[in-house]
Amino acid sequence: MKPLSITKKLYLFFVSLSAASLVSAQTIGTFSSVTPTAQVQTLVIPSTHTFQRIIRSGDVLSMGGTLGTNLDFTGYVPIAGSSKNGRLSISSENTPTAEVGILDISYNNSTHIWGVTAAGKVAFNPTDIGTVTRFCSGTVTPNNTIIVSEEDLSAGDVNTDGYTDRGWLIEIDPATRTVINQAGGGAVADKLWALGRANRENAAIKSDNTVLYTGADDPANGFLFKFVPTVPGVFSSGSLYVLRTTAGLGNGTWKLLPNGTIAERNGIITAANNAPAAYNFNGIEDVEAGPDGKIYYTAKGEGKVYRFTDNGTVGTGTDITGLEVFVGNSTAGITYDVNGAAAGGVESWGIGNDNLAFDGEGNLWVLQDGSRNHIWVVGASHTQASPNVRLFATTPAGSEPTGISFTPDYRFMFLSFQHPNANTTSQTDAAGTAVIFDNHTTVVIGRTSVLGPLATLPLIFTAFDAKQSGAAVTVNWTVSNISNHDYFSVERSTDGTRFEEISRNNDQINGMNDKSFTVTDNNLPDASVLYYRIKQCDADGACRYTEVKMVKLDGKGQIIRLFPQPVNDKLNIMYRSFSAGYGSIAITDITGKIVIRQAHNLVKGDQSLLLNTGSLKSGMYLVTITDKLSGTVTQKFVKE
């Protein structure tokens, strides 16, 4: 056979590389930019994607009333971790009285369409929490609750409880459609008073519930706050800080704010302005915790998205480091080549960057309220020196895109379009409905392979779980209706955000009716909680994720075996530890007296420990192993 020339070898290499790139992509964040234009009457998105209208303002809710106007934060809350059954919370940025509608929604595996099974409003009792108004952005918490934000600082105290009514964060239980009783006791419900009063717009919470970040959408007092709850996940009490930095950015300091009394909570903005004053970012619209561990937030008036690393300290001058403009106007009037090689694709970033959300690949989705009201996607590899910015959508005339959230598998995203013009042009959505964007509208968007009549799912996950098994975690899943399948990738995370592949299955299973799989994760990292998901990819490169399963590890060590029994001179202990580090072994007699104590350096996993028991008298004893991170375990043995 004639050997291949270097040119042909390079050609085949790049063809293979391109094919591999295609196989690894085809997620919701895989698309070619739309052409940058001014708004037209329809929603313009890539041809690889489609949308389905879920509801519009004024639509009747099955549990009473109609959906409010000025639809804003649109948060998907999974039921039992599902990406196909959940609750959709839709805030109304109404004045003088705000509303929240919550829909029970589900995805039909046969029609590939979303349906609403129940819909109702959250009850806000002014006797308990005063007036509520202008719910703007918000967040889905790690506890699967909803936090909404009052973007209003109007005066008033209708229930005379001492708190000025407007300008607070409020936590909602979407399952019961009620405001959560934070204080306990006799109060039916309350706002998150300890976070202070400001022109609230947003919230972001670390996955372990230990920190909440929130900003003020105020051109004069656009401060960034950090709240550390006394009890993780309970935001009724804790320490409140505000960020101090300079125009040069780089580093910053968290300034402690007094927040123990009603007067202090009402006066947070005044305290933030007291010397040394907090830094004004000219209107913070949204805050998100990134998959890289950094905190991202928008300055709407400046047209900038900032990011930094929070080092967990207070008052050091370097509490935060790496503060920089991640994307946007680091220089005035910045433009980005969204189509590559300037193929008609250079577009000004403008101002008004608003809501933020990260997808499963670390792309940052940016919704714009200002300039041309685009939906941008900033790649995980983006830097200002080497940009990676694409344009996902131009929005219907007169509208701004609002709220954005993803299902846990990142196949679907939910958002709304607020205040469109009286448009008259219709377009057909994934459900076959003729949609005219002439009213506040909530939609779901996905690739055509998963949403609508063209959807061709290669298989269906009928079961998926992850459970601890001794010092390991066992991941099990079952699929059915298998076709066009390529591979499974089992992914693990310690924070629920950043995932890594731990196993890949390339079995050829196409044509089978059903198939079950098991992967055992024996190399567990040092963590009390782990998260698992399955990535499934087709032969044509399209990929999708299961919902995420959380495993709370029982960190208690295990004595697997003691031998021989009864023992004479040497006792062998087979011990399983969940972490490496210092440990001790103690032997006590039946009176509780310690007769032998030894220190050991334990390794993570199974190990053999040897004790000299020749000096012990005959009788029954207890051996106790105290493991620094894996707790204490005790077992009986008999000495001859």
Q: Residue 25: its pLDDT value, please? A: 44
Q: Average pLDDT of 382-391?
A: 96
Q: Please give the mean pLDDT across all residues of the chain.
A: 89
8 Å CB contact between 420 and 399: yes
On the question of pLDDT at 23 being above 50, the answer is no
The pair of three-digit structure tokens given for residue 361, joined into one six-digit string: 């690949």
Model confidence over 295-318: pLDDT tens digits?
A: 999 999 999 999 999 999 999 999
Q: Residue 215: its pLDDT value, please? A: 97
pTM: 0.76
Q: What is the DSSP letter of 194?
A: G
Q: Average pLDDT of 90-98?
A: 91
Of residues 299, 304, 99, 273, the one with CA closest to residue 215: 299
On the question of pLDDT at 526 being above 50, the answer is yes
Q: Residue 484: its pLDDT value, please? A: 81
How many other β-carbons are positioned within 10 Å of the β-carbon of residue 114? 24
Under the banding of pLDDT at 50, 70 and 90, the label for residue 445 is very high
The DSSP bridge pattern shows strands 295-299 and 49-56 to be unpaired
8 Å CB contact between 623 and 634: yes
As a whole number of angstroms, the distance between CA 356 and CA 378 comes to 10
Q: Residue 47: its pLDDT value, please? A: 93
Give first-to-last CA distance, the chain, whole Å: 77
Q: Residue 11: its pLDDT value, please? A: 36
Query: What's the number of CA atoms in the CB half-sphere (13 Å) around residue 273?
Result: 9
On the question of pLDDT at 22 being above 60, the answer is no
Q: At 482, which amino acid appears?
A: I
Q: Residue 511: its pLDDT value, please? A: 75
Higher pLDDT, 2 or 228: 228
Q: Residue 4: its pLDDT value, please? A: 40
479: β partners: 461, 515
Higher pLDDT, 314 or 555: 314
8 Å CB contact between 37 and 394: yes
Phi and psi at 274, nearest 5°, equal -65, 145
Model confidence over 241-252: pLDDT tens digits?
A: 999 999 999 999
Percentage above 70 pLDDT, the chain: 93
As a whole number of angstroms, the distance between CA 19 and CA 74 comes to 36
Q: Residue 186: its pLDDT value, please? A: 56
On the question of pLDDT at 547 being above 90, the answer is no
Q: Which residues contact 144 (CB under 8 A, 6 or more apart)?
A: 77, 78, 174
Higher pLDDT, 482 or 24: 482
Q: Average pLDDT of 257-263?
A: 97
On the question of pLDDT at 69 being above 70, the answer is yes
How many residues can be counted in the chain?
Answer: 640
On the question of pLDDT at 187 being above 80, the answer is no
Model confidence over 339-386: pLDDT tens digits?
A: 875 566 799 999 999 999 999 999 999 999 999 999 999 999 999 999
Determine which helix (DSSP H) or strand (DSSP E) holds 13, and give its type and residue range: helix 6-23
Model confidence over 128-171: pLDDT tens digits?
A: 899 999 999 999 999 999 999 999 999 999 999 999 999 999 99
What is the greatest pairwise CA distance in the chain?
95
Q: Residue 633: its pLDDT value, please? A: 83
Q: Residue 1: its pLDDT value, please? A: 36
Strand order in the sheet with 320-328: 204-205, 212-215, 224-231, 234-244, 250-257, 320-328, 304-310, 295-299, 284-289
Dump strand ranges (E) for 497-592: 500-505, 514-521, 529-538, 543-545, 549-552, 558-563, 570-577, 581-588
Asked which of 253-262, 393-402, 462-471 is least confident by mean pLDDT, the reply is 462-471
Domains of the chain, CATH where assigned:
31-332+339-447 (2.120.10.30), 460-552 (2.60.40.10), 558-639 (2.60.40.3080)
- Cis amide prior to 564 (ω within 30 degrees): yes
Determine which helix (DSSP H) or strand (DSSP E) holds 271, and give its type and residue range: helix 268-273
Asked which of 95-104, 370-379, 431-440, 507-516 is least confident by mean pLDDT, the reply is 507-516
Q: Residue 6: its pLDDT value, please? A: 36
Q: Residue 449: its pLDDT value, please? A: 86
As a whole number of angstroms, the distance between CA 310 and CA 67 comes to 39
Determine which helix (DSSP H) or strand (DSSP E) holds 23, and give its type and residue range: helix 6-23
Q: Residue 455: its pLDDT value, please? A: 78
The DSSP bridge pattern shows strands 99-107 and 85-92 to be antiparallel
Model confidence over 585-635: pLDDT tens digits?
A: 989 988 888 889 888 888 877 889 999 999 999 999 999 888 765 667 888
Q: Residue 16: its pLDDT value, please? A: 35
On the question of pLDDT at 56 being above 80, the answer is yes
Reduce the DSSP state of residue 509 to 3 states and report it. coil
Most trustworthy range by pLDDT among 19-23, 172-176, 523-527, 596-600: 172-176
